């Protein structure tokens, strides 16, 4: 075996830096004690979300029975500092792995990070109509309370502030330049879901959160767990599709809210407001296009309940009929075309 695996590696460290876009506005609206407490409770609930992802006994048991137990491979620490979130995923094993296993485990960790971030994105959009922008690096970071240090913090911050531009989470240069890792991420993503969950936008690579929400329900993913879950509990599968559709509806409402806010300053003669409008215009045109493409993709979802299973049970067949009507209707959650045209006009 030692002769077969010539190269051994440690698992890769992951450092995530996320900024809550629009936090400055909601913070600026705080002009009394009641509003102050409400905003602080929102931030505290974000902390609880991440605590639960790490401390939940049920979740730990589920991972312990999976092919990749993140808690036996990584220590996870995080800090919310004002409107920013920093998360450090530190390998907790000193031993080296054969190169392909180390890269596979490290890639798997990134896909889990993607999955976990979806909860925070949805929560922020639902409760405050604000979106996230972030960067992620393989460089080292260390978090102690509200202090976060290390090369990874700077690299992830630069990716967020200089590369991301739009509401998305991008890979830092050190990640993208690791060609073996990028191949491992693409290989694992396609193995599990028959699609690449990292989008290449002219060299800027970002995490495709909306596509992940669809492929975990789509028969086209050819994921045995997706199909098995749909067969085992068709009602729960239906509710999952309804939930994902509901997420896109919430995103539509939040994007349109932000577009309307931006349009309020479109005709301003103030140079600073014009500069702000230009920035908001670019962000929400991009986000609208991304959202609309997600709705189109979702509307073509292939139901994961096989036909023989559907026809063998009247209740299951009724669920399939409901889904055949519901799924194509998701296109109704695209951004209002007239509103988007108003934003696009110079």
Give the start-end residues of each E strand in the chain: 8-9, 14-21, 74-81, 84-91, 97-98, 131-137, 142-144, 147-149, 169-171, 198-201, 204-207
Phi-psi region of 202 (alpha: psi -120 to 50; beta: other; left: phi over 0): left
**How far apart, in Å, are the Cα atoms of 11 and each of 82, 206, 248?**
30, 21, 35
Measured distance CA(123)–CA(320) in Å, rounded? 29
- Whole-number pLDDT of residue 221: 87
pTM: 0.91
**Cα R_g (the chain), whole angstroms:** 21
Measured distance CA(16)–CA(211) in Å, rounded? 20
3-state class of 282 per DSSP? helix
Residues listed for the chain? 346
pLDDT tens figures, 179-229 = 999 999 999 999 988 899 999 999 999 999 999 999 999 998 888 889 999
Using alpha carbons, select from 133, 168, 173 the residue that is nearest to residue 152: 173
Using alpha carbons, select from 110, 118, 244 the residue that is nearest to residue 189: 110
- Which residues, in sequence order, are CB contacts of 81 under 8 Å at separation 6+? 146, 148
- Whole-number pLDDT of residue 1: 38
Q: What are the phi and psi torsion angles at 207 (to 5°)?
A: -80, 130
Encode the chain (346 residues) as per-residue pLDDT tens digits.
344 446 878 899 999 999 999 888 888 888 899 989 999 999 999 999 988 888 888 888 888 888 788 888 999 999 998 889 999 999 987 778 888 899 999 999 999 999 999 999 999 999 999 999 999 999 999 999 989 999 999 999 999 999 999 999 999 999 999 999 999 999 999 998 889 999 999 999 999 999 999 999 999 888 888 999 999 999 999 999 999 999 999 999 999 999 999 999 998 888 888 999 999 999 999 999 999 999 999 999 999 999 999 999 999 999 999 999 999 999 999 999 999 999 998 7
Beta strand 169-171 with 131-137 is: parallel
Structure tokens at 191: 């193995």
3-state class of 12 per DSSP? coil
Measured distance CA(140)–CA(123) in Å, rounded? 28
**How far apart, in Å, are the Cα atoms of 62 and each of 32, 44, 67, 191?**
44, 26, 10, 21
Half-sphere exposure in the Cβ direction for 304 (13 Å, CA): 28
Half-sphere exposure in the Cβ direction for 205 (13 Å, CA): 19
- Whole-number pLDDT of residue 113: 95
């Amino acid at each position: 075996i030692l002769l077969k695996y010539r190269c051994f590696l440690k698992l890769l460290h992951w450092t995530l830096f996320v900024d809550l876009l629009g936090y400055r506005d909601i913070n600026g609206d705080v002009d009394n004690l009641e509003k102050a407490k409400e905003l602080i409770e929102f931030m505290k609930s974000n902390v609880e979300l991440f605590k639960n992802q790490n401390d939940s006994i049920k979740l730990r048991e589920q991972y312990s029975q999976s092919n990749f137990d993140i808690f036996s491979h990584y220590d996870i620490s995080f800090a919310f500092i004002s409107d920013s979130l920093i998360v450090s995923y530190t390998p907790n094993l000193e031993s080296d792995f054969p190169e392909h296993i180390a890269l596979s485990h490290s890639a798997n960790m990134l896909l889990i990070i993607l999955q976990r971030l979806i909860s925070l994105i949805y929560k922020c959009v639902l409760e405050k109509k604000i979106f996230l922008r972030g960067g992620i690096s393989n460089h080292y970071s260390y978090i102690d309370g509200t202090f976060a240090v290390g090369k990874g913090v700077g690299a992830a911050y630069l990716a967020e502030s200089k590369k991301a531009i739009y509401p998305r989470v991008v890979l830092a240069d050190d990640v993208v330049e690791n060609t073996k890792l990028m191949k491992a991420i693409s290989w694992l993503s396609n193995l599990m879901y028959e699609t690449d969950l990292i989008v290449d936008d002219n060299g800027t690579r970002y995490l495709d959160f909306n596509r992940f929400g669809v492929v975990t329900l789509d028969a086209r993913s050819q994921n045995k767990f997706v199909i098995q879950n749909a067969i085992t509990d068709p009602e729960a599968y239906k509710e999952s599709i309804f939930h994902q559709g509901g997420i896109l509806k919430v995103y539509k409402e939040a994007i349109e809210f932000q577009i309307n806010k931006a349009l309020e300053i479109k005709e301003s003669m103030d140079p600073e407001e014009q500069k702000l409008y230009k920035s908001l215009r670019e962000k929400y045109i991009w986000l609208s296009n991304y959202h609309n493409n997600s709705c189109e993709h979702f509307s073509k979802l292939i139901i994961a309940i096989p036909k023989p299973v559907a026809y063998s049970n009247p209740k299951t067949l009724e669920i399939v009929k409901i889904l055949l009507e519901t799924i194509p209707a998701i296109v109704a959650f695209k951004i209002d075309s007239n509103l988007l045209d108003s934003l696009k006009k110079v």
